[in-house]
Amino acid sequence: MKLICPECKNEIDLTNYPDLADGHIIECNHCGITLNVKEVGENYVAEVVDEGK
């Protein structure tokens, strides 16, 4: 399974998140953006978290 960052379109390294599930907050290892995992299936889907910065 893999997750493509919606911001930078790079594939995020998920080896740091072995227990990834819906609702988990992860960080893109390419652009550093915070993402909320929305779907766990054949591929992961995540959306950008607005941190209000």
Q: Which residues bind Zn ion (CB under 5 A)?
A: 5, 7-8, 28, 30-31
Least separation in angstroms between residue 14's CB and Zn ion is 13
* Structure tokens belonging to residue 23: 């609702």
CB of 42 to Zn ion, least distance (A): 20
CB of 8 to Zn ion, least distance (A): 3
Cβ distance to Zn ion smaller for residue 34 or 40: 34
**In terms of C-beta density within 10 A (0-12 exposed, 13-18 middle, 19 or more buried), how is residue 3 classed?**
buried
